[in-house]
Amino acid sequence: MKRASRCESLLLLLMVLLGPWAAMAQEFTIDDIRVEGLQRISSGTIFNYLPVKIGQNIGHGDTGAIIRALYKTGFFKDVRLEREGDVLIVFVQERPAIATIEIAGNKDIETEQLLSGLKDIGLSEGRVLNRFVLDKISQELKRQYFNNGKYGVNLETTVTPLERNRVAINIDIKEGETARIRKINVVGNTSFDQDDLVEGFELTPTDWLSFITSADQYSRQKLTGDLERLRSYYLDRGFINFKITSTQVAITPDKRDIYIAINIEEGDVYTISDIKLAGDLVAQPKKYFPLIRLDRGNVFSRKEVTGSTERINRMLGDHGYAFANVNSIPEIDDEKKEVALTFFVDPGKRVYVRRVNMRGNHTTRDEVLRREMRQMEAAWFSAEQVRTSRERLQRLGYFENVNVETPAVPGSTDLVDVDVSVTEKRAGNMMAGLGFSQSQGVIFNASISQRNFLGTGKFISFGFDTSAANTVYRFSYSNPYYTVDGISRGFTLSYQKTDFDEVDTANYSLDKAQVGVNFGLPVNETDRVLLTLDMFKINYKVGNDASEQLKEYRRRNGSDFLDFQLGAAWSHDSRNSAMMPTKGGVQRFSTSATIPGSDLEFYTITYNQKRYFPLSKTFTLAFKGDIAYGDAYGDTSRLPPWENYFAGGIKTVRGYQDFSLGPRDSKDDPLGGSMRLVGNAEILFPAPFKFVEKTVRLSIFADGGQVYDGETDIDLSDIRYSTGVAAFWLSPFGALGLSLALPLNDESDDDLQFFQFSFGSAF
């Protein structure tokens, strides 16, 4: 009896437990769907993911698909189904939501950057907490720190439950020390020295510049790039079968030092046995061979092969073959160690430009844009002319953005349009400025200018400057396209009153009024010639205690002058940036002379240049030179004092006071001279802080210069030299220049100024 009673009890319990499943096992038509257990997620969200709907037949075989579909959303940690009559009941238990993510202890990487990395793996405030994603926190944060060279980082993650099924995640970081590269070894090299191979690497062992460049911090991406540089080094020198067999990166147990070993097989050097052209050349072979910088018998160079291919492509593109394809096909003879190169040319169809369309120029007239275009309608498409057109539009200064697109014409395989879209700047500009110069004190200036007057491209400006030494009023007008060929014409009106005694030079003052006209002639895209004709009305005054030289000039030449001055200048500008260039250069040669009918007879000649050579992505080598000479002729006794050249100060020879170098008068005041020589060499590099690297540039410099009177022989031993460090900041309030210089060969009577600066602002 007892055994029968136990069986009945177990059977009853089994019926209770399996009742719902038994009910679900029978197929039925869903009359309604009810969801239980929701807290934050709406019922509509559930219904969107359910693979069944009201009115649909459902059986036991369908329940698995329903449960899998809801689990797949990631919103729930438990899902079960029940049936109540013809009603399907869905019981769910939601995963908790992330209320906050707090990160503490991070110094090397900003919190926003760490949170951005976590968001990429699906972990952010407001999202559902997925335990699988939670396990990736440590992996993701360590990845970010490993990229910064911190391999000893420790992380501790705490998840704290909150009300309303939410959690708070707290991440405590102990960053540890940054690991530094101590040694990079290339193993297997017999043809080249170790230093030559790693010279171009982005990764370098720790040295005195590492605190600026961070080049001693290991990065897998940087190492990949360096391995490609190593491969290119050998391939550019004929080692066609060069291989990198393995790379080992070892870190010391204290996670502070990294050693990198690169194992290589050099192979043999191959020379070029033959160079051939194949395919549809569409031009005479003599057009191609000057673009191929390779010779038979020379060592094979992948760099020159690639460069030759690019030059041929560019030449074809400039002649309308926009979709040309040029491939270099090598035939390798391993026995003779030779390579025969075939350049296969597939020009495709010649492409023409149907229309050049302008958009966005609501104020600027259409012709102002079109006259800068070098790509013409109905002409062959030229990628070079399109690029040049865009650059010329950008240099106008009228537009914030210039975008050029070349869509294909629908239904045609050989026509494209050139669509130019611009975003205009404000046409007018009102500016007031406040600055300080160590030589002139506080400077105030104001101006009203219209760079694009009424959308015509003409320039009109009126402004004034005033300081303790200078008062200047000026008006200028310029039409950059006085003729359709791009000859410009401009006018200048100005009045200047200068007290030279206020700038610590000779004791005299000058009132000068100017009326001038100028013409500019474009030579090419980077060169321009400027012709000027100016009339000057000058009043020359000397103080009672002025030097004998100043008084003598007045006795010989008078104090009131009417001069007509003719000038010519040539300029060449190939810089990649006007404010912070890293390559290219700018040159200017100018000369001017008074013409017959003038009260004074003199001339001046000036040549200056600046050249920039990129040493790496970080460092730029800059050279600057300035040569100026002037003299009198005819009845004029000597070059006027106000035309003299000066040196010393932050713009010429740093470390020496402004205008202090060169000849002095009988009162021991700087008088200036008729000849100036100035040279400068600098190593430029950005500030070591990323948030200012585009606006702050530092430099290590060496300056040299002197001014001569033209009456005595030039003695190069008189040139003054200095060296030091400098900074330039393009701040929101204006440009700030600072220098800390050490004169190297100063004399006892030189006026020194170790720290110098200049500052100006606009408001």
Among residues 669, 665, 667, the alpha carbon closest in space to that of 657 is found at 669
CA distance 214 to 180: 9
Sheet with 352-359: strands ordered across: 352-359, 415-424, 399-405
Residue 505 main-chain phi, psi, to 5 deg: -115, -155
CA distance 708 to 720: 12
Which CATH number, 3.40.50.300, 3.10.20.310, 3.40.50.1000, 3.40.50.1820, labels domain 20-94? 3.10.20.310
Residue 134 three-state SS: helix
CA distance 7 to 619: 90
Domain spanning 428-762: CATH 2.40.160.50: yes
Q: Record the tokens describing residue 655, joined without a space.
A: 């470390």
Residue 14 three-state SS: helix
pTM above 0.75, yes or no: no
CA distance 470 to 139: 65
Q: Half-sphere exposure of 167 toward its Cβ, with a 13 Å CA cutoff?
A: 20
Residue 222 three-state SS: helix
Same fold: 97-174 with 352-424: yes
Q: Which CATH architecture has domain 271-346?
A: Roll (3.10)
Which CATH number, 3.50.50.60, 3.40.50.1000, 3.10.20.310, 3.60.20.10, labels domain 352-424? 3.10.20.310
Residue 78 is predicted with a pLDDT of 86
CA distance 328 to 303: 12
Q: Where are the domains of the chain?
A: 20-94, 97-174, 180-265, 271-346, 352-424, 428-762
Let me know if 674 is exposed, middle or buried by CB neighbors in 10 A (0-12, 13-18, 19+): buried
Question: pLDDT means per 10 residues in the chain (763 residues)?
Answer: 48 44 66 85 84 85 84 83 87 86 87 84 80 76 80 86 87 85 92 90 80 74 91 94 94 88 95 94 88 92 94 89 90 94 92 92 89 90 88 80 89 90 69 46 58 83 72 89 90 88 75 95 89 96 85 90 96 79 91 94 96 89 95 90 92 90 87 94 86 83 93 85 91 75 91 79 33
Amino acid letter for position 388: T
Q: What is the CATH number of domain 180-265?
A: 3.10.20.310
Domain spanning 97-174: CATH 3.40.50.720: no
